[in-house]
Amino acid sequence: MAREILVVGGGPSGLVAATEAALAGAEVTLVEEDKEVGSPDHCAGLVSSEGLQKILGGYEGVLLSRIKRVRVFSPKGNAYNINTSDEKAVVIDREKFDRELMKRAEAAGVEISTGTLYKPSMGFKVLINAEGTKSRVARYIGMEVPRSIPAAQMDLEVKNFEDDVVEIYTGGWAPGFFAWTVPRKDHLRVGLATSMGLPKEFLSRFVEKNENFASKCVIKVLRELYGKVVIGGPLKSTVKGNVVAVGDAGGFAKPTTGGGVVLGCLTAKLAGIAAAGAIKGATLLEFERKWKAHYGKDFERMRLAARIFRNIKDEELERAMDEAHRFGLLERLTVYDMDLQGGVIARVARSRLARYAVLPLLRSLFEG
């Protein structure tokens, strides 16, 4: 018998979409190929406090750290500190976060089957594709695959540990992207993504050779993690027939950072509601209309800003960061939304900094 709604993937986006569809009255089954929801975890876990509040309400059982400062290193290694005294960002334990979402999905009536790989023979009236970056379902049904680049992370025990600081390292350490360190209660998760070589090799080089990072004094490598970061923005078509793509599978991660937990879940809510509506005869395209109306402009601006960042030369970035610091722009970044970055991007585009952006943009347009 065909299920009303079949959700493929028990990550946050699939779980949220499934919950919303079930709460709207649909009969929902979710299949997850791993034995347990939330594991293995491949995420740094940095999210906005506001986004976390929207997804889990006031529930704080998933918190690892509260971030008070972001330290950004220029390509030459100059440090710029951005204080976020209002704790705009937090680090979450993804395993606990995903399991909490699973509990809520089950309470809403979703039937969850772990250790179950999606098979084309599974029947459904509507399919919600929440497979992340694996892209097997997308290929099977002939949907576009999200643009992603490979990433590597290490959990490190360090001597000089700051439990409320996130660091970003720009320049050649992770060509075309950046490296990060995120505090996780008692250890650091350090990682980077790049499409210009093996991230594992770039990460080893970063940990061994970066002079600013060296001040942390690594004691031990606890584990290594690998994954893919989605950077291309939402697919051209996130709905095809009776299939809707959500989360990373739909490209709903921030093109600037690859962070996809908050926007993935918020857009997946819209998909769940639209899927339940489609069972009652409405069009599934309602999902596309809604996410574009709520988030379309921000995704477009983030995509453009990311394209400029990926094409900017180190010396242009160095000058732009120096200038942003001199005019106090870096420090003011904290007043902006961490998830919907369209506002801050528009602000930068109107500032003197834009001249550093125009050159790389033109270059990227002409060089393809």
Ligand X SMILES: Cc1cc2nc3c(=O)[nH]c(=O)nc-3n(C[C@H](O)[C@H](O)[C@H](O)COP(=O)(O)OP(=O)(O)OC[C@H]3O[C@@H](n4cnc5c(N)ncnc54)[C@H](O)[C@@H]3O)c2cc1C
**Binding segment toward ligand X, per CB under 6 A, in 133-141, 285-293, 297-305, 310-318:** 133-141
- Least gap, CB of 119 to ligand X (angstroms): 8
Contacting residue, 65, 84, 153, 194, with ligand X by CB under 6 A: 153
**Which two structure tokens, joined as six digits, stand for 358?**
């125009």
Size of the residue set binding ligand X (CB under 6 A): 41
The most distant pair of C-alpha atoms in the chain lies apart, rounded to whole Å, by 65
The CA-atom distances, in angstroms, between 64 and each of 186, 187, 272 are: 9, 10, 29
Contacting residue, 5, 10, 149, 154, with ligand X by CB under 6 A: 10
Those residues whose C-beta lies under 8 Å from the C-beta of residue 267, and which sit 6 or more positions away, are 13, 246, 247, 250, 252, 291, 294, 295
* Nearest alpha carbon to residue 68 among 85, 90, 82: 85
Q: Is 20 in the site for ligand X (CB under 6 A)?
A: no
Contacting residue, 21, 72, 90, 229, with ligand X by CB under 6 A: 229
Contacting residue, 42, 54, 66, 310, with ligand X by CB under 6 A: 42
Contacting residue, 18, 28, 44, 270, with ligand X by CB under 6 A: 44
- b/e burial code for range 232-270 (CB count within 10 A of at least 16 → b): bbbbeebbbeebbbbbbbbbbbbbbbbbbbbbbbbbbbb
**Binding segment toward ligand X, per CB under 6 A, in 26-34, 67-75, 208-216, 311-319:** 26-34
Displacement of CA 148 from its chain's centroid (Å): 11
- Least gap, CB of 9 to ligand X (angstroms): 3
Q: Is 198 in the site for ligand X (CB under 6 A)?
A: no
Look up residue 56 and give its amino acid: L
- Least gap, CB of 278 to ligand X (angstroms): 20
Contacting residue, 47, 244, 245, 278, with ligand X by CB under 6 A: 47
Q: Is 247 in the site for ligand X (CB under 6 A)?
A: yes
Contacting residue, 6, 18, 21, 31, with ligand X by CB under 6 A: 31
Q: Is 234 in the site for ligand X (CB under 6 A)?
A: no
- Least gap, CB of 301 to ligand X (angstroms): 18
Q: How far apart are CA 187 and CA 31, in angstroms?
A: 33
The helix/strand/coil state of 3 is strand
Q: How far apart are CA 202 and CA 194, in angstroms?
A: 8
- Least gap, CB of 145 to ligand X (angstroms): 13
Contacting residue, 261, 266, 279, 340, with ligand X by CB under 6 A: 261
**Could you write out the DSSP letters of every residue in 164-200?**
TEEEEE-STTSTTS-EEEEEETTEEEEEEE-SSS-HH
Q: Is 43 in the site for ligand X (CB under 6 A)?
A: yes
- Least gap, CB of 240 to ligand X (angstroms): 17
Q: How far apart are CA 229 and CA 205, in angstroms?
A: 20
Beta pairing, strands 243-245 & 124-129: parallel
- Give the residues lining the site for ligand X (CB under 6 A): 8-14, 31-34, 42-47, 117-118, 130-132, 134, 136-137, 151, 153, 191, 227-229, 247-249, 253, 258-262, 264
